[in-house]
Structure formats: structure tokens, C-alpha cells
Structure 1
Amino acid sequence: MPVEQPAGLVLDTYLPREDVRDAFVSPTVPSLSALEAGTLVGTSSLRRKAQLLNRRPDLTVVEFRGNVQTRLKKLEEGVAACTFLAMAGLNRLGMSHVATATIETQDMLPAVAQGAIGIERRGDDARAAEMLEAIHDGPTGHRLAAERAFLAALDGSCETPIAGLAELDGGTLRLRGEILRTDGSEALADDQSGDIADGPEMARAMAQGLLDKAGDGFFDWR
């Protein structure tokens, strides 16, 4: 979902968030850490590719597209030894058993808004707003407000290797963010906490701080 909505549309309703983690999927290897040097890893996600190569530059990443069933078939055919899928998607499909292992967020920070379902509506439709208010999940809304502000300040999209995750603890919001070069050669990250109400402002400041650290040329992949 774009961080800026078309004129007349608003995105202000979210359902309770699913599992935000990535799943490691392989018919032959038990975990990401067990991969041997040179192993073929299949993914079409720029974020996952960059994160993987940043941590394991000895691995080889190959393009891996298609729906869940197509990707599982490619694994069976040996196109790659493993791949990554969102746990949220597997859970919603009733296929959580497909995950060989889950990857904790400290090891692979997820994409902004991963695991969330948002509902877009017309900004002048008061009746729709009233109905949607009944199913809106406030905590998810606060988390996504910060994450999407972070992404917007970086001018990011699904075509950029950016990761971000907001978590709540009482009245405190913790935001972790990461930007990477597409080849994984460099990663910059930050971790900040503050009042929930200040989440979007904190996110924008974090994004600017990372941009300042990145300097000229970091985003040559755009």
C-alpha cells in the first residue's frame, strides 16, 4: 500500500496484526544458520536479499517468484535450497506447518507493515468511517502510523530494501528501523523508544538520522 493515498482516500482502519516474522522454508536445511557457503537461496524481496547478503555474503541469491505453492514446487525441483515467506501469509492460508523455522526480528527485521491488513475508504464517507471504527485495532494503528511515517520519510516502497518494526509496551512505542544497500554491502540501523503519541514524529527523525549517516551515493540503487 503506498504511503501516500490518492486524493479523497484515507487509510485509517487496521485489523489486529498477525505474526510479523519471516519464515525460513527448506526441504533439506533445518535453519538459516545451517546454510553452507555457496548455497542457493531463492527470494525476489530486495529487503530479504540485502539483509541476507549483509549477514551471509557467502550465500548466492537467485530470483524466486510465484505464489506459495509455486515457490514450494521450485524448492522441490531444486531451483534453490531454501526461501523466505511471511509467517502472516502462511498462518492465514492455514499453512504454518510449511515453515521450517521462524526468524526472530532481531535476526531479520521485517518489512514495514508486515502482517497487517489495512482498509482504505473514501475520506468523505462518514457512514463507512463509523462502521469501520468498530473493527479498527487501535494498537495496530499506532504501530503502523510510526512504521509508515518512517517509510514515507525515506521515500521508500516495495522496491527499496527498508525494514521497520514498531512495538508497544504500555504507553511506550519502540521503533527499530534499517536501511541497506541492495547488494548487502552496508546496513544502517537505529532503535528508539518514546511515547505512543510521538511515534510518527520519532519515526521521521529516525529516518532523517539514517539518511544523514548514509550520505551521498547510499541510494544509488533507486
Structure 2
Amino acid sequence: MRKFIVGSRRSGLALTQSKQFIDSLKEHYPDMDVEIKEIVTKGDRIVDVQLSKVGGKGLFVKEIEQALENKEIDMAIHSLKDVPSTLSEGFTIACVPQREDMRDAFLSNDKVTFKDLPAGSVVGTSSLRRGAQLLSMRDDIKVEWVRGNIDTRIKKMESGEYDAIILAAAGLKRMGWSDDIVTEYLDPETFIPAIAQGALGIECRSDDRELIEMLQKVHSEEDAACTNAERAFLKRMDGSCQVPIGGHAKYEDGELYLTGLIMPEDGSEQYLVRKSHENPETLGNLVADEMERIGAKDIIDRINESL
């Protein structure tokens, strides 16, 4: 069997989830020879600016895809929420392994719940989507952006820089944090997660048949369908990091449902659409059609024009 080179971002979370994925692959291929190549992306280098101000989505992917194109690596392990909804030609997301918790986690000093935060409290997040939803629920709090890894953000909160922060539950769980650190998990039905939050996307060259076939052993058809629906919605809406947009797809009684969210950054409006369809791409487009019909696309157009 040939040796496989895996591309991963250098961050602690990226390397941890890459190793976890490789371990799951090796359960099926114990003799598989795998090496991780650490790649520093533009998104990793820019730590003092809100990502939405410097280009958003492709910031964590471009350098890794370049290495894939140059055949320096055979596959890339991405957080699927960082991957643009349109892939470059010659690449494919060949595998979506079982999805981790897609919820957002609310962490606060003294375990104060979100509804009990005193007026004027500062909540840290680097996500426009999270910020908009927080402000729509309570207009008497302040939302301020925070960057850095999980440890850094938690320390900033504990030092009093923030009264609370919001993080992806998936990152906390992959890094081994216990539930004790979390004040409350936010219900994904009412606090809509990022598109494909909690899911990994394993990207490789479209013509690498051997690897694509091997990856099917750890592929989750159900999670792929859910994330495909969410990403189809994102693609149609021309959503980027500059737009508060979210999506939550899940199976209920064997039927696939998708809830889409679009908001302005200040949280003053909220457009929610929920639909069902057996085909993930069709479902994403149905939700997008309804968003256009009720005027939500105007928010995106306004934001994109102002950039």
C-alpha cells in the first residue's frame, strides 16, 4: 500500500481532529502508512483582525488546496464549515465522517445562563451569525469579537475581559474539554449553527480512485446528506463570512429537514425557513427559493455591495 500524506492546519484543534480521523481510518486499514504535513494558512497567520474583514471562508483552505494540487499531499482534513461551498476544479469532498455535536456552547463566568446575564454584559464571539442571534434575543448586551484558540478564549473570559463567550461544542469535545466547562448548550433548532458545523470534510483529487474508495469505509451517508443540504443553501445564497447565515439539517422520522437562517449583523431582522425534501441539493435550493421570495436575499445583497 502506498504512503499517504495528509494536509492539516497547524492549530491544536486541526491537528487533534486530523489524528482522530486517521485513527478511525486505521481501524479499517491497520497497515496504512500515513504522515501529517502541517500547513499554516492565511487564516492562521491573521490573528488580530476579524476574519470577515479579510476574506472569510477560503482563508483556512487555499494553501492546503495548493498543496493538494501540487501533489505534496494526498488528502486534506478540513473543518467542513471552513470550506467554500464551491470547490476548485479537480477536487472533491470524498468523505464526511460521523459528525460531532453541531451545537454552539455558551460559557460564562460563575455559570450565569444567557437569559440571566446582567444588562450590559459583554459576550465574546468571532462569528457574525452568533452575534446577530445573540442581539436578536437580547438587545441589552454587548457582543465583541474574540480570536484565538479555545484555551486563549476561555482565559480571556476568566480574566474578566468578557462575561461570556460562545464556542462550537465540537471543538470543545474534540479537544477533550468536559461538559463542566459549558454553562449551557444552545438548541440548534432555535440558535441556528454555522453551515456544516461539527463536520469534517476530507478533500482529495477527484481522480484519486484508490483513496476515494478507501475513504468510503469511514463515510457517513446521513451526515453527508445533511451537510450537502446546508452547503447547497449557502451556495445559492452567496453566503460568506461577511453574512450572518446559518443552517441546520437533520433527519426526522426518515425525512430530511433543513432550517435556514439569514440576518443582518445587528440582529434587527431574522429570516427563518424550514423545508423538507429527500434530495439534499434540492432541499438547500428550496430553502433558498423561499428566502428569496420573502426578501432575505436583500440583506445579503446589501452586505455584499457595501464590501
Which category describes the TM-score, using the shorter chain as reference length?
over 0.9
Map of 2:12 onto structure 1: none
**Computing the radius of gyration over CA atoms, which structure comes out larger, 1 or 2?**
2
For 2:181, the equivalent position in structure 1 comes to 98
Taking structure 1 as reference, are residues 188 and 215 closer, same or farther at Cα in structure 2, changes over 3 Å only?
closer
**% identity of equivalent residues:** 40
Report what 2:80 is aligned to.
Answer: none
Normalising by structure 2, we get a TM-score of 0.69
Q: Aligned with 1:7: secondary structure?
A: coil
Q: Deviations over 1:72-114 (max 9, x none)?
A: 1111221110010111110000003321211111331111100
Amino acid in the other structure paired with 1:212: R
> Is 1:50 the equivalent of 2:132?
yes
Instruction: State whether structure 2 residue 176 is matched by structure 1 residue 121.
Output: no
Question: Aligned match of 1:73 in 149, 152, 155?
Answer: 155
CA deviations 1:137-161 (Å, max 9, x no partner) are 1111111111110110111123321
Instruction: Name the residue aligned to 1:82.
Output: 164
Question: Residue by residue, what CA displacement relative to the aligned partner does 1:1-22 show, whole Å, maximum 9, x if unpaired?
Answer: 1111111001131110111111
Q: Which amino acid aligns with 1:181?
A: P
Native 8 Å contact 1:29 1:35 kept in 2: no
By how many angstroms is 1:126 displaced?
0.7
**Structure 2: unaligned runs, 5 residues or longer:** 1-82
Correspondence 1:35 to 2:117: yes
Residue 201 in 1 paired to residue 279 in 2? no
| Structure 2 CA distance for aligned equivalents of residues 143 and 216 of structure 1 | 22
Matched, 1:148 2:211: no
Is the 1:162–1:180 contact (alpha carbons within 8 Å) kept by the matching residues of 2? yes
Structure 2 vs 1, CA of residues 36 and 28 (structure 1 numbering), >3 Å: closer, same or farther? Answer: same
Change in 2 beyond 3 A, CA 1:66/1:136: same
Does the aligned pair in 2 maintain the 1:28–1:81 contact within 8 Å?
Answer: no
Give the aligned partner of residue 20 of structure 1. Answer: 102
C-alpha displacement at 1:216, in angstroms?
7.2
* Residue 214 of structure 1 pairs with residue 295 of structure 2: yes
Superposition TM-score, scaled by structure 1 size: 0.94
Partner-residue secondary structure (3-state), 1:107: coil
Equivalenced residue count is 220
The CA deviation string for residues 152-173 of structure 1, in whole angstroms up to 9 with x for no partner, is 0111123321110110134310
Partner deviation per Cα, 1:1-53 (whole Å, 9 max, x = no partner): 11111110011311101111110001224211111221111111100001111
Q: Do 2:262 and 2:296's aligned partners in 1 also have CA atoms closer than 8 Å?
A: no
- For residues 170-193 of structure 1, what are the alpha-carbon distances to aligned partners after superposition, in whole Å with 9 as ceiling and x for unaligned? 431011111000111111011112
**Residue pair 1:12, 1:141 contacting (<8 A) in 2 also:** no
Question: What is the distance in 2 between the residues matched to 1:165 and 1:180?
Answer: 15
* CA 216–110 in structure 1, closer or farther in 2 if over 3 Å, else same: closer
**Structure 1: 4+ residue segments shifted above 6 A:** none
Ranked by relative contact order (alpha carbons within 8 Å, sequence separation 6 or more), the top structure is 1
Q: Is the 8 A contact 1:146 1:199 kept in 2?
A: yes
Which consecutive unaligned segments of at least 5 residues does structure 1 have? none
Preserved contact between residue 29 and residue 81 of structure 1 (Cα < 8 Å)? no
Matches within 5 A, 1:164-203: 164-195=247-278, 198-203=279-284
| Aligned CA-pair RMSD | 1.4
